[in-house]
Amino acid sequence: MYAQMVKSEASQEDPEKLAAFQKRIDANEKIEPKDWMPEGYRKTLIRQIGQHAHSEIVGQLPEGNWITRAPTLERKAILLAKVQDEAGHGLYLYCAAETLGVSRDELTEMLLDGRMKYSSIFNYPTLTWADMGAVGWLVDGAAIMNQVPLQRTSYGPYARAMVRICKEESFHQRQGFDIMMKMANGTPAQKQMAQDALNRIWFPALMMFGPSDKDSVHSSQSMAWKIKMNTNDELRQKFVDQTAPQAEYLGLTVPDETLAWNDEKGGYDFAEPDWSEFHDVIQGNGPCNADRLEARNRAWNDNAWVREGMMAHAAKKRAQKVAAQ
Amino acid sequence: MSDPRNEWPLWEVFIRGQHGLSHRHVGSLHAADAEGALKNARDVYTRRNEGLSIWVVEAAQITASSPSDKGPLYEPAESKVYRHPTFFDIPDEVGAM
Ligand SMILES: [Fe+2]
Ligand SMILES: [Fe+2]
């Protein structure tokens, strides 16, 4: 999802302590920053929350691409507010990760030099205005699927960040669907643009949930620790079941000929995405990987003088205050 | 590696959501100084009118109890059940009390 393929770490601690810890988790007690926790739990969470935070931050880029070209002033203001929310989500999550003993700068550096990942979805381009609709509808829709259960995750600061985020996500998905409705009911060319956006974003959106359960090797420990609440396939199925009728409502066609309601399982049958493409994008070879990392590195480097200047100014003011006393 | 001394310090943010309520911890953020922390808190934690008043406290200034003292720290309260009204049986005839 926003955190795909997070490898969970094994723990080599005292079995008694581990058992007591697991008992707390099973009793749905929240684990708080100062509590004892297995090293593996701590490391896995840093990786997962960090990757989630990076996804929120890098996720601003494909949408930021259209802020100056939104078709109306109202759409522009809405998109700006949506992208600003994503920055906020990144900040909530970085703070949650920092409670585990990693610094903000370390997290940033691991994103910038590629040691930490962000969601594969943000390595695809946003080519037309309709993509703003499809991204809000599908990408934020997929994020919601994953984030709602994470509100019950075992790590207190992460769960609380998720509660804040979930409150804001529904606006994101609705503004996207609203764009899609306008386009789908517009001129034939506008409707075609909406269809084209759905065609391009459908499978990358399905990839957000991560590899199929049969190939997903790291899930069981994370599920026992309640830092992963559902399997990848469960969430993907839920997403398709919710989204396919919405596409129908729009009068658009999901780019999957095998998509069909299956009465017996009470859900849709659908085609899996091309997993070789997924792994390729994760490896850094997607259409926009280089652009995204370049943009983040540029922002970090070009604004270093602001960060340093603010610190120098704060130090100067502190010194003046002491001198005046 | 960046120099950790150059990282903006961490601030804890407390917000009064409505008239009559106390300030409540909502999260944290980084800022160079207190004014910056207030401005950032407005942008990060009150984008939807969540607050009437914001407090920011540098995280390093907070002293917290440690979870391992839980037992001894709260023991004095545990042994004093008579502090709760339910400890006393008042006959029904007396009425509400
Ligand atoms: Fe978000
Ligand atoms: Fe969002």
B26 by Cβ neighbours in 10 Å (0-12 / 13-18 / 19+) ranks as buried
Per-residue pLDDT at A172 exceeds 70: yes
Q: Going residue by residue through chain B (97 aa), what tens digit of pLDDT does each one get?
A: 456 567 999 999 999 998 889 999 999 999 999 999 999 999 999 999 888 899 999 999 999 887 766 677 888 787 888 999 999 999 999 999 8
- Does B28 reach chain A within 8 Å, measured CB to CB? yes
**Amino acid letter at A76?**
K
**A103/B43 touch (CB, cutoff 8 Å), yes or no:** no
Supply the pTM of this predicted model: 0.93
**Number of domains forming the structure of chain B:** 1
Asked, for residue B95, whether it belongs to a domain, the answer is no
Q: Does A105 touch chain B (CB under 8 A)?
A: yes
Render pLDDT for A20-33 as a digit per residue (tens, 0 to 9).
999 999 999 999 99
Residue B96 lies in a domain: no
Give the whole-number percent of chain A exceeding pLDDT 90.
92
**In sequence order, what are the beta bridge partners of B58?**
B11
Question: Rounded CA gap, A166 and A178, in Å?
Answer: 19
Q: Which residues pair with B57 in a beta bridge?
A: B12
Mean pLDDT of A60-83: 97
Give the residue numbers spanning the domain of B54.
Answer: 4-90
- Asked whether the beta carbons of A195 and A253 are under 8 A apart, the reply is yes
- Ligand 1 centre and the CA of A94: distance in Å? 13
Could you report the per-residue pLDDT of A90-113, keeping only the tens digit for each? 999 999 999 999 999 999 999 999
For residue range A109-131, what is the model confidence (pLDDT) as tens digits?
999 999 999 999 999 999 999 99
Ligand 2 center from residue A144 Cα (angstroms) = 8
Q: How far apart are CA A260 and CA A149, in angstroms?
A: 27
CA distance to partner chain A, nearest, from residue B92 (Å)? 39
Q: What is the CATH number of the domain that holds B17?
A: 3.10.20.520
Q: How confident is the model over A191-226, as pLDDT tens digits?
A: 999 999 999 999 999 999 999 988 877 688 999 999
pLDDT tops 80 at residue A82: yes
Q: Collect all residues of chain B within an 8 Å Cβ-Cβ radius of residue A104.
A: 7, 30
Restricting to A residues 189-228, those with a Cβ less than 8 Å away from any Cβ of B are none
Q: What is the DSSP letter of A271?
A: P
Q: Which residues of B touch A168 (CB under 8 A)?
A: 47-48
Rounded distance between C-alpha atoms, residue A258 and residue A270, angstroms: 6
SS3 A221: helix
Cα A91 from Cα A81, distance rounded (Å): 15
Confidence band, pLDDT 50/70/90 cuts, at residue A57:
very high
CA of A262 to the centre of ligand 2 (A): 30
> Is B84 part of any domain?
yes
Q: Which residues sit with Cβ closer than 5 angstroms to ligand 1, an ion?
A: A 56, 86, 89
Note the helical H segments in A99-139: 104-112, 130-134
Please report the pLDDT score of residue B65 as a whole number.
Answer: 84
Which pairs count as long-range contacts for A248-251, CB under 8 Å and 24+ apart, including other chains?
A250/A180, A250/A181, A250/A184, A250/A194, A251/A184, A251/A191
Give the closest of B6, B33, B67 to A34, CB-based: B67
CA distance A52 to A30: 20
Give the residue from chain B lying closest to A82, CA to CA.
B47
Question: In this complex, is the C-beta atom of A161 within 8 Å of any C-beta atom belonging to chain B?
Answer: yes
Q: Is the pLDDT of residue A323 over 80?
A: yes
CB pairs under 8 A between A and B: 59
Average pLDDT over residues A29-55: 96
Contact A119, A2 (CB under 8 A): yes
| B97 lies in some domain | no
Q: Exposed, middle or buried by CB within 10 Å (0-12, 13-18, 19+), for A127?
A: middle
ipTM above 0.90?
Answer: no
Are B6 and A311 within 8 A, CB to CB? Answer: yes
pLDDT value of position B1: 47
